Every structure is written in C-alpha cells, then in structure tokens.
Amino acid sequence: NGYTRDSARTSQSAILDRHHVEWLVHRTSSLLGLPPENAETPQVARYLPGEYYQPHHDSLDPACESGRSELRRAGQRVATLCCYLTDVPPGAGGETVFPQLGKAAVGGVRVKARRGCAVLFFPASMHGIVDATTLHGG
C-alpha cells in the first residue's frame, strides 16, 4: 500500500492489506473481547534514527469529518495495541512515551521498543469516554 507521511510524524507508515493480516485482526480481537469487524486495518511504522511521532491521542476526534465518519462506522477507539518488531539499541531512542502517566518529573511512563513485546492501552472506555492521560508519542 505505499507509505504515508503527515506533519505530526517523520516516520514512515504503511497500512497493511487486511486480507494478508486477517489472522492478526482476529487474534487481537479475541484477546480484547472485541468484534473483529470494528478493528481498523493494522499499520506498520518504521522509525529511522532521529525520526518521531509527536504526542497525540489515538481516540477519534468528533470535531473533524474523518473522526465523525469513523465514529459512525465503528464507534470510538477503545484499545490500541503497539507491537514492536525490532530491538532498539540502548541510548538510541525507540520509546513510546506517555507523558501524563506516572511521575511527570521523570517524563511519564516510557516503554522501550523490544522485539516481540507490545504495549496495550485504552484511549477511551467502552462507553466512548476519552482518557486524555493516554497522550503518547515517540
């Protein structure tokens, strides 16, 4: 599907062909107890040294048309699963940072990218109430 870029990120990302990763959608949906038809198609992001994704929320914004459209289709995003496909050497970055969680004095909660590991978080409740503390970037 090619790569996309936007002003919030300098990394490259690609939306995967759902037919090739349907097994992943079903496995993740089963893990979370959510219907697979509500899952978005998985994406892969690639970060080169110095690249980043600005802090953002994964919840959908009803103030913009794309957010309203997705809210009508499947409801609010209630779970995000980030799986790490590679290790990042110590001191080279590669962290997902949640600045509003944990102790602000130490920069919040930092999840180091380690191959085969994942971070699961919930940007909104099952009732669609957004959790602003899930602001994250990396």
Instruction: Tell me the per-residue pLDDT of 110-137, one tens digit each, with 9 for 90 and over.
Output: 999 999 999 999 999 988 899 999 999 9
Q: What is the mean pLDDT of the chain?
A: 89
Q: Indicate whether 68 pLDDT > 80.
A: yes
Looking at residue 5, its pLDDT comes to 54
Partners of residue 130 on adjacent β-strands: 124
Helix (H) or strand (E) holding 120: strand 118-121
Instruction: Place 1 in a pLDDT band, splitting at 50, 70 and 90.
Output: very low
Percent of the chain residues topping a pLDDT of 90: 59
- Tokens at 63, concatenated: 């103030």
Give the residue from 119, 96, 120 showing the smallest Cα distance to 109.
96
Looking at residue 49, its pLDDT comes to 87
